[in-house]
Amino acid sequence: MNLKKKILISGYYGFDNSGDDAILKAIVKDLKEKNDNIEIVAFSNNPSNTEKNYGIKAVNRFRMKNVLEEVRTCDLLISGGGSLLQDVTSTRSIVYYLALMNLAKFFKKPVMVYANGIGPINKKYNRLFTKKILNKVDLITLRDYDSKKFVEGLGVENPNIVVTADPVFTLSPSSKGRIKEIFKTENIPFDKPLVGISLRKWKDSKRLIDIIPKAIDYIISNYNANVVFIPMHYPEDLKISEEIMDKVTREGCYILKDKYCVEDIMGIIRELEMIIAMRLHSLIYAATQGTPMLGIIYDPKIEGFLNFIDMDLKCNVEDLELIELCTYTEKMWKNRKYLREKLLKYDVILKEKALQNIDMALGLLKRR
């Protein structure tokens, strides 16, 4: 009887962040579809929820004795996806993920950096540590070309670097019937075109809270549309959405107040005419559904993704201006049919690229 090989997945899981949870869901789904004779274990901030939601074993990411044992006994460590290797959030975070990879190499385990968006990394020690570890790992796949440029800029000479796509491109949205149920429960009417907004708190949130309500009033007035806030990370996204909504003067602005699974959020975004978003995975969900988008850039990963899918409607959060935002919104509205067709063509290509990650991961596993 063949013993199952164990794949260990490290990432920002179990923190009620839709984007990161979607990544884990996609990786687990795709692995199981390709090979059902493997054991999958993930490090999580909330192991019981992760086990329940994904049907895999989960281990507390902060319980170091258990972490050590899982790394020692795995057959492959996957680090990904998402923006794990950056030090804008904190140095502690990047050191944690790099240390896990280093530990796996100490135990002579294959390591795959899986569809990551890498950077920015500003501190000298963090850059040196990242370079050292990335030169040790067996395979690096990246979700955009800006990340590849960044890695090359660090001086990484690992020959096994491939640009693929975010794992989320392989997920499918909930049915239209399910989405109508959600809108009914949330008391959001379906009688007008829908425009989505997905924001996060930022260091200059005052600017967002000042400008976005005026842009929403503009959208409601000019397009006879309803506007829906889509929080991606609870509770902070919900809080800033409520703050902004309080300043909207027109009727027709709503918030999704309950938490929904990845497929539900994707289905909701599918029903939109367009979306204005800061959260990366709200933009990725939109791309998978062919929903035209305007990105508000607070981090290079947003611009990197928009460049990757050839979408040029974007504003910087630091110098956000109402006139610019409304001008781009008007352009998006007028060209939404063309943009939808363009995005749907990209979706087919990026789904294939996302599945390449699985083939390469299982290739590493076969060598064991």
235 preceded by a cis bond (ω within 30 of 0): yes
Phi/psi of residue 67, nearest 5 degrees? -60, -45
- Local confidence band at 3 (pLDDT 50, 70, 90 cut-offs): confident
Q: pLDDT digit string (tens) for 27-36?
A: 999 999 999 8
Structure tokens at 307: 């460049």
Instruction: Return residue ranges of the chain for CATH 3.40.50.11930.
Output: 5-163
Q: Determine whether domain 5-163 maps to CATH 3.40.50.11930.
A: yes
Q: Determine whether domain 176-349 maps to CATH 3.40.50.2000.
A: yes
Q: pLDDT digit string (tens) for 89-138?
A: 889 999 999 999 999 999 999 999 999 999 999 999 999 999 999 999 99
Percent of the chain with pLDDT over 90: 90
- Local confidence band at 230 (pLDDT 50, 70, 90 cut-offs): very high
pLDDT of amino acid 1: 36
How far apart CA 230 and CA 275 sit, in angstroms, is 10
DSSP letter string over 274-308? EEEE-SHHHHHHHHHHT--EEEEESSHHHHHHHHH
Mean per-residue pLDDT for 208-233?
96
